A = this chain, B = another copy of it.
Amino acid sequence: MKMNILVCDDDKEIVEAIEIYLKNEGFNVLSAFNGREALDMMSSTSVHLVIMDIMMPVMDGVRATLKIREKYNIPVIMLSAKSEDTDKILGLNMGADDYVTKPFNPLELLARVKSQLRRYTSLGSQVRVEGVFQSGGLTVNDCRKEVTVDGEAVKLTPVEYKILRLLTENAGRVFSIEQIYEQVWNEQPFSPANTVAVHIRHIREKIEINTKEPKYLKVVWGIGYKVEAF
């Protein structure tokens, strides 16, 4: 499996230099020039490791790392011109997995990248992000059959779970009641009753703060339901 690495630094030369070394080792490289760009990129692509400079305009590396940690569970290597011990310690305590100071030997960075990825993937199928769907603060972990909202676990019944899983797995896409029924119940003869609506209501009671104005599970008038894609 090809690994996607996101390099985030406002210095284009450094980004390109790192890019060359990483690509040479068979990694896919994505680049961003500030923290916001990095986060945007991560929301649309699956990234396996981030190399993040600390000093950047728009959103600095520390804040970006904190944001990344909230949503994703991937290694972050911090890059910085500051070689002060206190900065290193701060960076590591912020949630970085490693800290490299400029100027650095590209081969050392490469070795550290591999080291992080080795651990990440060696922990096996169990950890694979496969089977985990999320949208905003909502996550659906399929192997644990567990749903969390802002980190808080929520207990759903089997049917409720299946519906929410379908919608979260395809966040943003709208499903008609008929489609939901067929997917979840595996049957064609669609029952005309409002069964699905009742389940939707129950799910909302469990995952939404305000049932009247749902943040995640939204209705699309005349068409069906969807989970908002963040």
Report how far A226 CA is from B88 CA in the complex, Å: 40
Contact code string A102-137 (vs B, CB < 8 Å = 1, else 0): 000101101110111011101110110000000000
Chain A stretch 43-87: residues in CB contact (< 8 A) with chain B: 73, 75, 85
**Are A108 and B123 neighbours in the complex by a CB distance under 8 Å?**
no
Report how far A159 CA is from B221 CA in the complex, Å: 10
**Are B144 and A115 neighbours in the complex by a CB distance under 8 Å?**
no
- For this chain, the copies found in one complex come to 2
Chain B residues, CB < 8 A from A196: none
Of A15-23, A26-34, A168-176, A197-205, which binds chain B?
A168-176
Min distance, Cβ A184 to any Cβ of chain B, angstroms: 12
Contact code string A86-103 (vs B, CB < 8 Å = 1, else 0): 001100110111100000
Q: A123-B127, A157-B221 are in contact. List 12 more A-B contacts (CB 8 A).
A: A73-B122, A73-B123, A92-B111, A95-B118, A97-B119, A120-B123, A124-B126, A144-B172, A144-B174, A144-B226, A144-B229, A161-B223
Interface residues of A (CB under 8 A from B): 73, 75, 85, 88-89, 92-93, 95-98, 105, 107-108, 110-112, 114-116, 118-120, 122-124, 126-127, 143-146, 157-159, 161, 170, 172-174, 220-223, 226, 229
A-B pairs with beta carbons under 8 Å apart, 23 shown: A73-B123, A88-B108, A88-B111, A89-B105, A89-B107, A89-B110, A92-B112, A93-B111, A93-B114, A96-B115, A97-B115, A97-B116, A119-B119, A120-B123, A123-B124, A126-B126, A126-B170, A126-B173, A143-B173, A144-B174, A144-B229, A158-B221, A161-B223
